[in-house]
Each structure stands twice: as structure tokens, then as C-alpha cells.
Amino acid sequence: MLVLDLSSGHHAFTDSTEHLRHASQVGEGMYAEVNLSANSIRDLIRRLLAVFDIPEDRLQIFLREDRDAGGD
């Protein structure tokens, strides 16, 4: 069984949906937990960068303004 756990102990990626609360298929035979908080996503990205030996300073995240926010 292939598993990558979150810091909370729950599975983030696995080859079986039985261990995920809200699974989404992300590849052939690979599923991801999609019901995550922003902090859990941040922590998971850090773990994935470490697993794949990618320096954190190589990651760039671009944010865009929410077009529906406060325009009334």
C-alpha cells in the first residue's frame, strides 16, 4: 500500500480510497484527500517538496484578487 500521511496522521495520498474521508482520483490508481484546511495544504506542500528534494525557495504561489469581494 502506498501512503503519504498528513501531520495529523490522516492519509493525504494513497492507492486506496478506504483510508480517505473525501477522496479524489489524481492518477491511475492514486487518490488524494481533498477535504483539507489551508494549514494542512501548506504542510502537505512542504512535505512534498522535501520528498522530491525541491528547495522551498523554488516554490512560487500567485494570488489573484477575488472579483466578487467587496465590490457592492
pLDDT in tens, 4-32: 666 666 778 888 888 888 999 998 988 99
DSSP code, position 22: S
Three-state secondary-structure class, residue 32: strand
The confidence score (pLDDT) of residue 62 equals 87
Report the C-alpha gap between 16 and 35 in whole angstroms.
Answer: 16
Asked if residues 59 and 46 have their Cβ atoms less than 8 Å apart, the reply is no
pTM, whole model, 2 decimals? Answer: 0.68
